[in-house]
Structure 1
Amino acid sequence: MLYVYRFRLYPTKEQVEFLNRQIGHCRFVYNKLLEITKENYEREGKSWNYYEYKKLLPKLKEKFPFLKEANSQSLQEAIKWLDRAFKNFFKGLAKFPKFKSKKRINSVSIPQHFRIEGNKIKIPKLKTPIKFKKHREIEGRVKSISITKLPSGKFYLNILVDREIKPLPQTDKVVAIDLGITHFCTLSTGEKIENPKYLLKTEKRLKKLQRKLSRKVKGSNKYRKLQKRIAKLNEKIVNQRNDFLHKLSKRIIGDNQAVIVEGLKVKGLLQNSKLSKHIANASWRRFISYLEYKAKFYGRKLVKINPFYPSSKLCSVCGYKNENLKLSDRKWKCPNCGTQHNRDYNASLNLLKEGLKLIKGSLTIRAVGLERPELTPVESAVALVEAGSSSSQ
């Protein structure tokens, strides 16, 4: 499968200037072709066509001679990025492509004619190699590289490789995860993972810097310095959050043969004005995507339950559906069997039951906390669930 290694680049002053020009040229081509596409559509009703607009690149080089300084393959990759953006738009996966801003994350892709030598990378049009921090060995066949510049001014090297899937030793465990806000998630084992809330913890500091920025003259040295400080703080929040999500997803995938989650409609949830900030801060969608690719990479199974499945409202003991359950009700008592429920833990048990129905016959699993004596709440019961033989894997 395709895998990306990410390393921090440490370019010299001259190399920074070169990279800024290369990234700027790619951004210019992307924005120019997007501008031409919009004009053609408004004037003639002509839609995007990759092969047709690709032919405009030589004409752009004649009209704008500075583009000849750029690696021609990198400019072609910029057109592919625009093509990908339009395809996602036509499929309904994204909004209409926007113009790339110099102030945001920008990249240059280099598909060929690069060379990795130890902790240095040699790229076309640049005489001296750029140093990078090689904190781990690169495994697999290298396909292409890209260099990304963050708003903080830092550069990162992304190496795309084709790696063999290395399945982890098989286990008979399966777990279900209920995502939340009070706790980041609750596992069907009864374990609750605290929500680190990195954004909320640094929000005061961030607001203070943004107020200072609003009082500075736009474009002045102090304004640019404050912009960089804000960018670095936002970058730190993102890095902390990603580190937490990577470590947690790796642990859960490593411990279980199958992981069951609810297929959340995060876009709809973000429309709740009271909870949108907390939901965005939790990064549920990113966590599920990490579980998804790690499950594929390590030979595990990820099961997504229908988002309309009422996991919180169902009693995990008798199956009674509590239609009157509110979002604020964190604990409730089943009127049918009298079981006291913790909302999140009960939801994780219901997700586990529903998930086991979907994977029945493909795994031999051991579900923790699944079965409980009739009408009796159990904190940590262990049930053996026969769902097929190990030979069918």
Structure 2
Amino acid sequence: MLYVYRFRLYPTKEQVEFLNRQIGHCRFVYNKLLEIAKENYEKEGKKWNYYEYKKLLPKLKGESPFLKEANTQSLQEAVKWLDRAFKNFFKGLAKFPKFKSKKSVNSISIPQHFRIEGNKIKIPKLKTPIKFKKHRKIEGKVRSVSITKLPSGKFYLNVLVDREIEPLSKTENVVAIDVGLTHFCTLSTGEKIENPRHLLKTEEKLQKLQRKLSRKVKGSKKYLKLQRRIAKLHEKIVNQRNDFLHKLSKKIIGDNQAVIVEDLNVKGLLKNSNFSKHIADASWRRFISYLEYKAKLYGRKLIKINLFYPSSKLYSVCGYKNENLKLSDRKWKCPKCGAEHDRDYNAPLNLLKEGLKQLKGLLTIRVVGLERPELTPVERANALVEAGNSSLK
């Protein structure tokens, strides 16, 4: 499977200037071709065609001689990025492609003619190799590399490799996960993972810096310095969030042979103005993507349950469906059997039951938590699960 290693680059002053020029050249080509594509569509109704617009590169080099300094293959990769953006737009996966800004995250792709030697990388058009922090061994066949510049001014090396699947020791455990805002997620074992709220914890400090920035003269030294501080703070929040998601997803995948999650429509949930900031901070979509690729890498199974499955409204013991359940109802009493239960804990038990139907006959598994007699709700769900999956052992 394809896997990306990421390392922090430490270029010299001259190398920083070179990388900035290379990234600028790729950004120029991307924006110029996007401008031409938009103009052709608005005037002539001409749709995007990758091979046709790729042929415009020699013409752009003639009109803009500075592009001759750039690595030709990197410019071709910029056209591929634009092609991918248009394809995602036509598939309904993204909005119409936007022009790249110098202030945002920028990258340059280098598909060939690079060389990694120890903790240094040699790239085309640059005489001296660039140092990077090699904190882990690169395993697998290297396919290509790219260099990313963040708004904070830091550079990162991304190494794409074709890596062999490394199956972990088999286990009989299976667990279901329900994500939320009160807690980051609740497992079918009864365990609740606290929501770290990285953005909300730093929000006050961030707002103070942004207010200071608004009082500075735009483009001045103090303005740029403060802008860099804000970018670094945002980067710290992203790093904290990714660290939390990586560690949690690795633990869950490592402990269970199969993991069951709900296939959420996060894009639709973000339209709720009351919870959009909290949902974005929790980063559920990224968490599920981490579970997905780690499951593939370590030989585990990830089961996604249809987003229309009423996991919160169904009572996991008797099957009663509460049509009047509100988001504010964290606990509710079943009118059918009279039992009262926790909404957050009930949902993963229902996901577990539904996921076991898909796993039936594929794996020899046991539901994590059923061996714990102190968890009364799990004991109640035990009979339900066993009835739905007679292959459990």
Amino acid at match of 1:153: G
Match of 2:100 in 1: 100
Measured in 2, the distance between the counterparts of 1:150 and 1:372 equals: 47
Deviation sequence 1:230-282 (CA, Å, 0-9, x none): 00000000000000000000000010011001111111111221111111110
Matched residue SS, 1:202: helix
Measured in 1, the distance between the counterparts of 2:331 and 2:162 equals: 48
Deviation sequence 1:137-191 (CA, Å, 0-9, x none): 0000001000000000000000000010011111110000010101000000000
Amino acid at match of 1:318: C
Structure 1 consecutive aligned stretches of length 4 or more whose deviation exceeds 2 Å: 368-373, 379-390
Kept after mapping to 1: 8 A contact 2:305/2:351: yes
- Establish whether residue 378 from structure 1 lines up as the match of residue 366 from structure 2: no
Match of 2:43 in 1: 43
Amino acid at match of 1:164: E
Matched residue SS, 2:174: strand
Match of 1:13 in 2: 13
Kept after mapping to 2: 8 A contact 1:172/1:257: yes
Identity rate, percent: 83
Measured in 2, the distance between the counterparts of 1:299 and 1:201 equals: 36
Matched residue SS, 1:3: strand
Report the CA distance between 1:223 and its aligned residue.
0.6
Measured in 2, the distance between the counterparts of 1:9 and 1:372 equals: 48
Report the CA distance between 1:369 and its aligned residue.
4.5
Match of 2:327 in 1: 327
Measured in 2, the distance between the counterparts of 1:192 and 1:377 equals: 13
Amino acid at match of 2:365: I
Relative to the length of structure 1, the TM-score reads 0.96
Amino acid at match of 1:333: K
Kept after mapping to 1: 8 A contact 2:140/2:161: yes
After superposition, residues 168-207 of structure 1 pair within 5 angstroms as 168-207=168-207
Deviation sequence 1:347-369 (CA, Å, 0-9, x none): 11011001101111111110135
Report the CA distance between 1:379 and its aligned residue.
4.4
Moved more, 215-224 or 360-369: 360-369
Amino acid at match of 1:96: F
Kept after mapping to 1: 8 A contact 2:29/2:75: yes
Match of 1:265 in 2: 265
After superposition, residues 119-138 of structure 1 pair within 5 angstroms as 119-138=119-138
Relative to the length of structure 2, the TM-score reads 0.96
- Establish whether residue 239 from structure 1 lines up as the match of residue 245 from structure 2: no
Report the CA distance between 1:3 and its aligned residue.
0.4
Amino acid at match of 2:322: N
Kept after mapping to 1: 8 A contact 2:177/2:187: yes
Match of 1:366 in 2: 366
Deviation sequence 1:66-121 (CA, Å, 0-9, x none): 00000011000000101111111111111111000000000000001100010000
Amino acid at match of 1:163: R
Give ranges in structure 2 of 5+ residues lacking alignment: none
Match of 2:61 in 1: 61
Kept after mapping to 2: 8 A contact 1:339/1:377: no
Measured in 2, the distance between the counterparts of 1:302 and 1:341 equals: 27
Kept after mapping to 2: 8 A contact 1:349/1:370: no
Kept after mapping to 2: 8 A contact 1:363/1:387: no
C-alpha change, 1:251 and 1:223, in structure 2 (3 Å) is same
Amino acid at match of 2:103: K
- Establish whether residue 291 from structure 1 lines up as the match of residue 256 from structure 2: no
Kept after mapping to 1: 8 A contact 2:190/2:375: no
Measured in 2, the distance between the counterparts of 1:284 and 1:139 equals: 29
Match of 1:144 in 2: 144
Match of 2:90 in 1: 90
Give ranges in structure 1 of 5+ residues lacking alignment: none
